[in-house]
């Protein structure tokens, strides 16, 4: 006969704010070149440039820093349309996020790049894939994308990953012991996305079990076989 039912503690999906301010950007060898490019504006090698890197690598944070400096509008690539292109360039600067999406309107992007050059506007593109290799059916668009200056945002090294874990924890009003940080760093993928998932996992499980976040808890959650 089974024992008494013990209800599982539910964890509320709270909205933890993430700051995209310049002072909250964590710089390291993996992203310093991209940050330097953003800080150099308007002294760019071209009026249209691309930031390329894996999901959660900090591209949106860099784009937000530049948008704040330049007055750029920020638009998802899947929302680009030919008729709206002139309006998107109204401020003379535009961020187009997630260029590799399947719903991209190639004609709209081609029109945008041409009009931006005609009006001397600045455009910052972000993509997980190298823009030169994006599959396109418009030959002239493919040629323009291949010619764009691109800056790679690489996965973080251990030092940056440690700093990121501490910052993400602080965003949730958590303080991590150094032993927790070191243990987690050695057992997650070298990516910003993995760091965010790790902190969320630690926070959720600590709340569920009504336990502090300790190395023992980290071992339970991230022990490798």
What fold characterizes domain 29-152?
Rossmann fold (3.40.50)
Per-domain residue ranges for the chain? 29-152, 158-222
DSSP labels for 38-51? HHHTTS-SSSEEEE
Using a cut of 0.85, tell me whether the model's pTM lies above it.
no
The predicted pLDDT at position 10 comes to: 37
Position 17 scores a pLDDT of 59
Q: What is the pLDDT of residues 90-126, one digit of tens each?
A: 999 999 999 987 789 999 999 999 999 999 999 999 9
Q: How confident is the model at residue 162 (pLDDT cuts 50, 70, 90)?
A: very high
Three-class secondary structure of residue 7 per DSSP: coil
Phi then psi dihedrals of residue 76, to 5 deg = -70, 140
Hey, which CATH number is domain 158-222, 3.40.50, 1.10.8, 1.10.3470, 1.10.10?
Answer: 1.10.8
Which sign, positive or negative, has the C-alpha torsion 155, 24, 212, 7?
negative
Q: What is the pLDDT of residues 78-92, one digit of tens each?
A: 999 999 999 999 999
Read off the tokens for 71. 């007055």
Which two three-digit tokens encode residue 45?
A: 């090698």
């Amino acid at each position: 006969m089974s024992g008494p039912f013990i209800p599982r503690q539910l964890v509320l999906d709270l909205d933890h704010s993430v700051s995209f301010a310049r002072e909250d950007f964590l710089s390291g060898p993996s992203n310093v070149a991209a940050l330097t490019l953003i800080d150099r504006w308007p002294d760019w090698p071209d009026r249209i440039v691309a930031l390329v890197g894996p999901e959660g690598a900090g591209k949106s944070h860099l784009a937000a820093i530049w948008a704040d400096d330049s007055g750029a509008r920020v638009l998802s690539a899947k929302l680009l349309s030919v008729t709206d292109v002139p309006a998107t360039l109204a401020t003379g600067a535009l961020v187009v996020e997630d260029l590799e999406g399947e719903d991209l309107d190639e004609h709209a992007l081609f029109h945008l790049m041409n009009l931006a050059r005609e009006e001397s506007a600045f455009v910052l593109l972000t993509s997980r894939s190298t823009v030169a290799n994006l599959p396109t059916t418009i030959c002239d668009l493919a040629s323009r994308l291949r010619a764009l200056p691109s800056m790679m945002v690489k996965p973080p090294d251990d030092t940056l990953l440690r700093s990121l874990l501490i910052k993400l924890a602080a965003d949730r009003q958590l303080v991590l012991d150094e032993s927790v940080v070191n243990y987690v760093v050695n057992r997650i993928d070298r990516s910003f996305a993995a760091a965010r998932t790790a902190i969320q996992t630690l926070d959720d499980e600590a709340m569920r079990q009504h336990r502090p976040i300790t190395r023992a808890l980290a071992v339970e959650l991230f022990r490798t076989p």
